[in-house]
Amino acid sequence: MKRSMTFFLSLICATAMMAAPVAMAAETETETAVTEMVSEAETETGSETETEAEGVLEDGTYTAEFDTDSSMFHVNEANEGKGVLTVKDGEMTIHISLSGKGFLNLFMGTSEDAKKDGAELLEPTTDTVTYKDGTSEEVYGFDIPVPAIDEEFTVAAIGKKGKWYDHKVSVKNPVKEDGAEKKTVADLNLEDGDYTTEVTLEGGSGRATVDSPAAITIKDGKATATIVWSSPNYDYMLVDGEKYEPVNTEGNSTFEIPVDGFDYPMEVVGDTVAMSEPHEIEYTLQFDSSTMEKAE
């Protein structure tokens, strides 16, 4: 009996000793699995963060594809499905030129919301496109806010018959343009005084021009240009968000505006009253420092 009891106790001890490693192994496997899950989660989170960082575009001008779901509402063939994407302070806007003047307004959202009182409609610009055969045509263009790259969003468009249409659009493959290097007054070592320099205007319908060379005044290290338009119909200009009124009351519209740099396309806005309603039109002015001369 005593021998049987001894054998029984030995068996229990052996079983307990065998069970302990199994339990420890199971616990180790569980800890390993949890560690791997946490590691994977951290990796995924890190990947998402990296992706978000990669998706942020730095301020500047890009060429980007503008895709639509319609054979009627699309970028003009002269521009090969692309528009000019501008990123400023993290906000993105793409300018596209359409195939004609069939769409009068756009709305960021659905056609149902576009019909509501107070809906903010996007107004068209008049763009000139040039085809491969050398012919040119005036079409409507629009500046469309872009919520995100590579993500589809809804834009409503209204045609000449007054009917709204919903369209799915997206902006893809932005490629940053190689901008000209801006030169400042300090870079050019310009002394205070009066100068003249050639200036090039781009934007709008292409019909407006400005007098060139333009008068430049340097005072306290800052440059001011006298811009004379080819029309008397500009009632104000915007430069870096600041509004400038004409300095004359007769003849073509004349403005004195600050020049923050030379040899690069400086963005300005001109408001024209030549049409039935005033329109703000985006332009660029490029002042060529290589042509700068002291005024006589």
Residue 133 has what pLDDT? 85
Q: Choose among 152, 191, 189: nearest CA to 170.
A: 152
Peptide bond into 213 cis (omega under 30): yes
0.85 exceeded by pTM: no
Q: Choose among 147, 274, 266, 265: nearest CA to 205.
A: 274
Residue 178 has what pLDDT? 64
How far apart (Å, rounded) are the C-alpha atoms in residues 228 and 251?
10
Model confidence pLDDT, tens digit, residues 92-120 = 999 999 999 999 999 999 999 999 999 99
- Token output for 196: 């003249």
Percent of residues, the chain, with pLDDT higher than 70: 80
Residue 277 has what pLDDT? 86
Residue 7 has what pLDDT? 46
Residue 24 has what pLDDT? 45
Give the chain's residues under pLDDT 70: 1-55, 178-180
Model confidence pLDDT, tens digit, residues 217-261 = 999 999 999 999 999 999 999 999 999 999 999 999 999 999 999
> Which whole-number Å values give the CA distances from 36 to 29, 89, 132, 289, in the listed order?
10, 40, 59, 62
